[in-house]
């Protein structure tokens, strides 16, 4: 029978493809292994020093015994600016998503949804440039400050929160809304206390995603939060920030600063990993307690 001549070749091809694609997976995952490994190797010693988190960043120096501690202000700065940004973007994002999903206003809801989608594709550096462009004209005094930094990060976070909240709201079955309506509960209460609560795991996931993204961004802060190595002084002054620290020190010609960059990298990676894992567990428990929505 003619068809069986080629049979061995076909099986062999399938096996070769299986091996090749398997190699692709190895190639794809290798950078992750490398990044984690190098972070520990080059930043581990730095991270686990006593004052790593409590002192300021060192000046560049080329002597062997140079100080390699000090990302305190950067961690503080990141917490403040991301916290501020979250404070703006979470309410705004959730409310906008509620508008798009719970109220039918002549296609405006769809417009909001589509716009948020489109906004996720705006490069983060453009967000920074846009905020800078506004403030450098209208209020140059605080062009480089926590305020503008928070605004730039919010511009990045809001579309993420809107999209994920909208998805989460959409999953809540209409019967829930109808039941609330039938019980005479006013719409705003029903939306906030019932529908939103029902979609909380999804919303929480989205918020955490946005927060983690903002914590790692440097580009939009280049021209908004600016650069500093000092502890927090005021919201209208520029501030320190982890990703910017990593960026600046990575390019430093002083090896002690480079080591600090690696230490900060390890710190940031662990932070992201921990937040990731903890949030998944929390959200999983939320889901279980609510009976698997």
In the region spanning residues 176 to 215, those forming contacts with other proteins, defined by CB under 8 A, are 181-189, 191, 212-213, 215
Report the nearest approach of other proteins to the CB of residue 125 (Å): 4
* Number of residues lying near other proteins (CB under 8 A): 98
Return d(Cα 176, Cα 172) in angstroms, integer: 7
Q: Give the nearer residue to other proteins in terms of CB position, either 108 or 230.
A: 108
- What distances in angstroms separate CA 256 from CA 66, 156, 190, 280, 293, one per listed residue? 6, 33, 57, 36, 50
Q: Which of 40, 232, 247, 254 binds other proteins (CB under 8 A)?
A: 247
Which residue, among 76, 59, 77, has the nearest Cα to 68 in the 3D structure?
Answer: 59
Q: Which of 162, 169, 198, 211 binds other proteins (CB under 8 A)?
A: 162
Q: Which of 258, 260, 263, 279 binds other proteins (CB under 8 A)?
A: 258
User: How far from the centroid of its chain's Cα atoms is residue 270's Cα?
Assistant: 14
Report the nearest approach of other proteins to the CB of residue 243 (Å): 5
Report the nearest approach of other proteins to the CB of residue 43 (Å): 10
Q: Tell me if 17 contacts other proteins by CB under 8 A.
A: yes
Q: Which of 70, 149, 159, 238 binds other proteins (CB under 8 A)?
A: 159
Return d(Cα 190, Cα 181) in angstroms, integer: 8
Output DSSP code: residue 192: I
Q: Tell me if 261 contacts other proteins by CB under 8 A.
A: yes
Whether the CB-CB separation of 209 and 190 falls below 8 Å is answered with: no
Whether the CB-CB separation of 57 and 74 falls below 8 Å is answered with: yes
Task: Considering only residues 51 through 70, tell me which ones interact with other proteins, judged by CB under 8 A.
Answer: none
Whether the CB-CB separation of 74 and 218 falls below 8 Å is answered with: no
Task: Considering only residues 266 through 285, tell me which ones interact with other proteins, judged by CB under 8 A.
Answer: 268-269, 272-273, 276
């Amino acid at each position: 029978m003619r068809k069986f001549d080629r049979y061995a070749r076909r099986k062999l091809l399938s096996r070769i493809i299986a091996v090749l694609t398997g190699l692709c997976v190895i190639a794809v995952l290798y950078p992750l292994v490398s990044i984690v490994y190098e972070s520990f190797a080059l930043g581990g010693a730095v991270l686990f020093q006593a004052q790593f988190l409590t002192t300021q960043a060192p000046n560049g120096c080329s002597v062997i015994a140079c100080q390699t501690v000090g990302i305190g202000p950067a961690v503080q700065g990141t917490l403040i600016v991301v916290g501020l940004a979250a404070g703006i973007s979470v309410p705004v994002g959730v409310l906008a998503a509620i508008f798009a999903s719970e109220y039918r206003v002549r296609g405006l809801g769809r417009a909001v949804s589509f716009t948020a989608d489109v906004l996720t594709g705006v490069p983060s550096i453009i967000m920074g440039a846009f905020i800078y462009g506004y403030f450098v004209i209208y209020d140059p005094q605080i062009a480089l400050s926590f305020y503008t930094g928070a605004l730039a990060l919010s511009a990045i976070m809001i579309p993420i929160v809107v999209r994920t909240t909208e998805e989460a709201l959409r999953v809540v079955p209409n019967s829930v809304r109808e039941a609330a309506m039938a019980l005479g509960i006013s719409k705003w209460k029903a939306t906030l206390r019932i529908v939103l609560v029902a979609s909380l795991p999804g919303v929480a996931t989205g918020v955490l995603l946005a927060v983690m993204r903002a914590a790692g961004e440097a580009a939009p802060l280049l021209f908004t939060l600016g650069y500093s190595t000092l502890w927090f002084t005021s919201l209208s002054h520029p501030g320190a920030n982890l990703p910017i620290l990593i960026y600046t020190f990575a390019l430093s010609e002083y090896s002690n600063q480079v080591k600090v960059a690696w230490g900060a990298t390890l710190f940031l990676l662990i932070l992201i990993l921990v937040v990731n894992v903890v949030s998944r567990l929390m959200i999983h428990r939320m889901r279980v307690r609510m009976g698997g929505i």
